[in-house]
């Protein structure tokens, strides 16, 4: 018999957001963070692979990869050399983690030609930008996509310092078509609220993208929304999540000082994927100057947060099912 003062917690239905497995995507780094900022960054294929393998042991089932110059850390080399380094990294990783999901960054980004203020489409389409970078990766798997199962489509003109990469809705659509034709899942990167709205308007509503839609909610990285103020970062994340289209699988990509708190919030809000590592930040905590020493420590931190609230970490097979990828 229930007493009159008892609360009815025993009949409250379960909250389902935290029941689904969490996919952790590890990002070892790219040239916008260099050893002058973090001396622990990996540059060579073997160093990067070791970071990924250690992170995989902590629960990462996906890795976001950029080939770097083995000594200098930059990414300014020929497409053939980029493909060679990429394949070398992958082969090291696959030897220890045969079922990990490979998520390379965008292809080559040559500057467009212009007609007045309009970039010529033939200089920003997938045949100009993506095909030259991905053809060797596809050929290495005899036409399969093991070396590039998922890849980013930046759905916003990209600005970082003095670097500008022009993107338009037509270039996004071209990239989506190219990736899907070659068995690569497009990862649609939203840089702000407008970007997310335009992903829905120009890609999803016309039916150009296969379900489930993999959408990145980017914050604090490149020229996305600033999240240095924790409360504003949380508010922006919640606005993002409310605006997601149906049938979306969403990934939180947070960067800067607040990368761990915002990623933790995304775990609580039911993110399907969170990306962590050494690409998006230098410091582990927002209020301290302890530099991240390896990717595994960040994957472990996020996995511990998820487990603390009862959320399971996705196995490789579960991650593939969540993302709509074929089994391996």
pLDDT at 31 over 80: no
Instruction: Examine residue 191 and state whether it is found in any structural domain, yes or no.
Output: yes
Mean pLDDT of the region 137-143: 93
pTM value? Answer: 0.96
- pLDDT tens digits, one per residue of 160-200: 778 788 999 999 999 999 999 999 999 999 999 999 999 99
Q: What does the alpha-carbon distance between residue 5 and residue 144 come to, in Å, rounded to a whole number? A: 63
> What range defines the domain where residue 292 resides?
19-110+125-323
Domain count, the chain: 1
Q: Is the pLDDT of residue 108 over 90?
A: no
Task: Report the alpha-carbon distance of residue 272 to residue 218 in Å, rounded.
Answer: 14
Confidence of residue 106 (pLDDT cuts 50, 70, 90): low
- Between strands 118-119 and 114-115, the pairing is antiparallel
CATH code, 65: 3.20.20.70
In total, the chain counts a number of residues equal to 328
Model pLDDT for residues 36-87, shown as the tens digit of each residue:
999 999 999 999 999 999 999 999 999 999 999 999 998 888 889 999 999 9
Q: Which helix (H) or strand (E) holds 265?
A: helix 259-268
CA distance 126 to 170: 10
Q: How much is the pLDDT for 301?
A: 98
pLDDT at residue 17, rounded to an integer: 83
Decide if 242 is inside a domain: yes
Instruction: Provide the pLDDT for residue 229.
Output: 93
The strands making up 62-65's β-sheet, listed across from edge to edge, are 101-104, 62-65, 23-27, 273-277, 248-254, 213-219, 185-190, 150-154
Compute the average pLDDT of residues 130-142: 93
Distance between CA 297 and CA 128 in Å, rounded? Answer: 38
Tell me whether residue 120 is in a domain: no
Distance separating alpha carbons of residues 24 and 100, to the nearest angstrom: 11
Neighbours of 232 (CB within 10 A): 14
Closest to 310 in 3D by CA, of 41, 81, 15: 15
139 domain residue, yes or no? yes
Task: Give the span between the Cα atoms of 317 and 221, in whole angstroms.
Answer: 29
Q: Confirm whether 39 is domain-assigned.
A: yes
Residue 116 lies in a domain: no
């Amino acid at each position: 018999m229930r007493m009159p003062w008892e609360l009815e917690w025993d009949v409250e239905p379960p909250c389902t957001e935290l029941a689904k497995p969490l996919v952790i995507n590890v990002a070892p780094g790219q040239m916008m963070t260099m050893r002058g900022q973090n001396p622990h960054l990996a540059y060579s294929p073997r160093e990067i692979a070791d970071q990924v393998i250690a992170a995989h042991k902590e629960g990462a089932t996906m890795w976001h990869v950029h080939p770097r110059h083995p000594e200098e850390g930059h990414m300014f080399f020929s497409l053939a050399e980029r493909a060679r380094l990429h394949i070398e990294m992958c082969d090291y990783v696959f030897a220890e983690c045969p079922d990990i999901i490979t998520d390379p960054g965008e292809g080559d980004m040559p500057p467009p030609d212009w007609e007045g203020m309009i970039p010529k489409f033939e200089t920003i389409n997938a045949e100009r930008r993506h095909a030259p970078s991905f053809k060797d990766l596809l050929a290495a798997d005899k036409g399969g996509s093991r070396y590039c199962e998922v890849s980013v489509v930046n759905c916003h003109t990209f600005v970082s310092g003095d670097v500008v990469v022009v993107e338009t809705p037509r270039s996004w659509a071209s990239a989506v078509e190219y990736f899907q034709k070659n068995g690569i899942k497009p990862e649609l990167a939203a840089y702000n609220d407008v970007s997310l709205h335009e992903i829905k308007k120009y890609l999803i509503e016309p039916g150009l993208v296969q379900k489930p839609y993999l959408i990145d909610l980017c914050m604090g990285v490149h020229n996305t929304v600033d999240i240095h103020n924790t409360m504003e970062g949380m508010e922006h994340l919640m606005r993002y999540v409310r605006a997601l289209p149906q049938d979306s699988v969403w990934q939180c990509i947070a960067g800067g000082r607040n990368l761990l708190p915002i990623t933790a919030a995304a775990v609580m809000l039911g993110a399907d994927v969170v990306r962590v590592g050494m690409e998006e930040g230098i410091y582990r905590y927002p209020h301290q100057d302890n530099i991240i020493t390896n990717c595994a420590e960040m994957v472990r931190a996020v996995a511990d947060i998820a487990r603390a609230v009862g959320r399971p970490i996705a196995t490789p097979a579960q991650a593939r099912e969540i993302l709509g990828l074929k089994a391996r």
